[in-house]
Chain A
């Protein structure tokens, strides 16, 4: 009934103006969509990154800092827990596996994180995508995003990534495996046995348990190692290599052992509980000083609440922009309608009913707004992808930009408002007496 050719012809005639309106609407819509998508990406991405981390135990300090450091590998000076916590947790029957997290070094900008095989293999349930997990102190497993081949040497540099610092030239890890991508900051990490980190930093020297751990001198299998190893090694002082470090280097090649109660302290421990009930009980047991036990998901939820507030503010800004755009679109269409009065009157004279006139004006405006909203969703998506890309490259957290059913609701709401707005000039046109419109 509505002659759509007329709409097309009118839009073609006013192409620059029509494009302007579409772009205005697209920009306003894109802003709102990008805010929503980005906030969702941060939420989803961080939640997925925290998936592996049932329970994180650290020294009594800031919960948020603990989660940011352990889950997201944000460098920060976390206090250390007493050494016995790790041994106690490792012996806890409620824990499926336990892995310490020790930070401090980096290699070519990639954080070198001390941990344990259990973390890499998820307690034996998975294997590295390439190679194998580390078995000796001198071996390393790299995250999927670390551009190194297996067999490469990692000489850790002291300090967090980007901070600089001296190189532990006398110690080198050999890359023996690569983890599957996880979409977390751990993809950019070089995982080494925590014992290696201790050793490099002159900790973990007191192993008196006579296990096969501390192969002294050049004899790996010797038991009853004397506590000679790292304590006397002043790694802070030397920038040179080789001389006098043979013993350490050999020592460094030792196989891994269990953790002792009198081992060095670690800043954080990841605990995989056997059951949810176990997780809750363990959190209860370890949430008193000197330790702190948190569910990262819980801490993230609190962070999301803050994030949600920020999103609400941004969404309000976006909605305000949309309202301004809506007002200007209404203004433009009413002005345009004034210019079209005679044309619409002529249509009436040619036999168009008022319904056709209403439909003509209404669908033309709605098609402009519809195009703008569609384009805006595209712009918002691309914008969120770009921002996600930048954030991903900085944080290593995969930030998935995805639409959800509620976005359709948002689009329909925008179109619904547009339908009402478009009805205003359409009604004006509807009510216009044709004879008056024709008068020149």
Chain B
């Protein structure tokens, strides 16, 4: 399980005076569950892109278990991401035309021609675990909550060491959001994955071990989540 060490990370866009992200130092222990909060424009998405290797910083280092994403090329980061990261996105990004099972299996199909039977078995098990009765159900017929649960199952298929969720509950109603938040926290723990969740959702943030608050690209608060924080906002 990888530890994360971020050093002197600075992301600027041309034409903007202030950097959109400026993180001098950040360490996340393997298996930790971290909620990243902050208003929009605070640099959360940029941070997620950097931590998952979707984007590469020009300055600074992002070390996952010693691998510096800043030094990897596009192809290298693709391979690293395929091997280490499970991603859950706000808009689910399920693929219409494929059923739930095939959507969960998609990350495996991207890397190989033949998907081994044990991965298919795992896909079925994950679908059952997130509470979907029928793996062959067409994606279009699912509720939004169910869609996000399929996305969670998909993110976990390749047993990633890092589970990254970008506003996973933002487009769900409260009830469905709660189910997805629970699943993320429970499954990350069960799989032993580090969970990094960018969220506005107090219910999800409250279930993390640690909360990092961003504002204008800087970390303005970083600390353990109080046990009773979940009760702050029902």
**A residues in contact (CB < 8 Å) with B:** 1, 3, 5-6, 8-10, 12-13, 342-343, 346-356, 433-435, 438-440
Whether B93 and A343, one on each chain, are in contact in the complex, defined by CB atoms closer than 8 angstroms, is yes
Main secondary structure of the interface of A (DSSP, over half): helix
Residues of chain B within 8 A of A352, CB atoms compared: 78, 82, 110
B211 at the interface (CB under 8 A from A): no
The answer to whether residues A346 and B89 also contact, given A1-B112, A354-B78 and a CB cut-off of 8 A, is yes
Q: Which one of B16-24, B60-68, B96-104, B182-190 is at the A interface?
A: B96-104
| 28 examples of A-B residue contacts, CB within 8 angstroms | A1-B110, A1-B112, A5-B98, A6-B95, A6-B97, A6-B98, A9-B95, A9-B97, A9-B98, A10-B97, A12-B97, A342-B93, A343-B95, A346-B89, A348-B78, A350-B82, A350-B87, A350-B93, A351-B78, A351-B81, A352-B78, A352-B110, A355-B75, A433-B54, A434-B54, A435-B55, A439-B45, A440-B91
B194 at the interface (CB under 8 A from A): no
**B residues in contact (CB < 8 Å) with A:** 45, 49, 52, 54-55, 74-75, 78-79, 81-83, 85, 87, 89-91, 93, 95-98, 102, 106-107, 109-113, 154, 158
Residues of chain A within 8 A of B49, CB atoms compared: 435, 438
CB distance from A220 to the nearest CB of B (A): 88
Residues of chain B within 8 A of A12, CB atoms compared: 97
How many Å lie between the Cα of A342 and that of B54 in the bound state? 13
Which among A5, A343, A433, A440 has the greatest number of chain B C-beta atoms within 10 A? Answer: A5
How many Å lie between the Cα of A351 and that of B111 in the bound state? 8
Q: Which residue of A lies closest to B45 (CB)?
A: A439
Whether B89 and A356, one on each chain, are in contact in the complex, defined by CB atoms closer than 8 angstroms, is no
Whether A351 and B158, one on each chain, are in contact in the complex, defined by CB atoms closer than 8 angstroms, is yes
- Given contact pairs A1-B111, A9-B95, enumerate 15 new A-B contacts (beta carbons under 8 Å): A6-B95, A6-B98, A6-B106, A12-B97, A13-B96, A349-B81, A350-B82, A350-B106, A350-B154, A351-B107, A352-B82, A354-B78, A435-B54, A438-B54, A440-B91
CB distance from A432 to the nearest CB of B (A): 11
Whether A349 and B110, one on each chain, are in contact in the complex, defined by CB atoms closer than 8 angstroms, is no
Whether A349 and B93, one on each chain, are in contact in the complex, defined by CB atoms closer than 8 angstroms, is yes
CB distance from A429 to the nearest CB of B (A): 13
Residues of chain B within 8 A of A1, CB atoms compared: 110-113
Q: Which of A3, A353, A435 contacts B106 (CB 8 A)?
A: A3
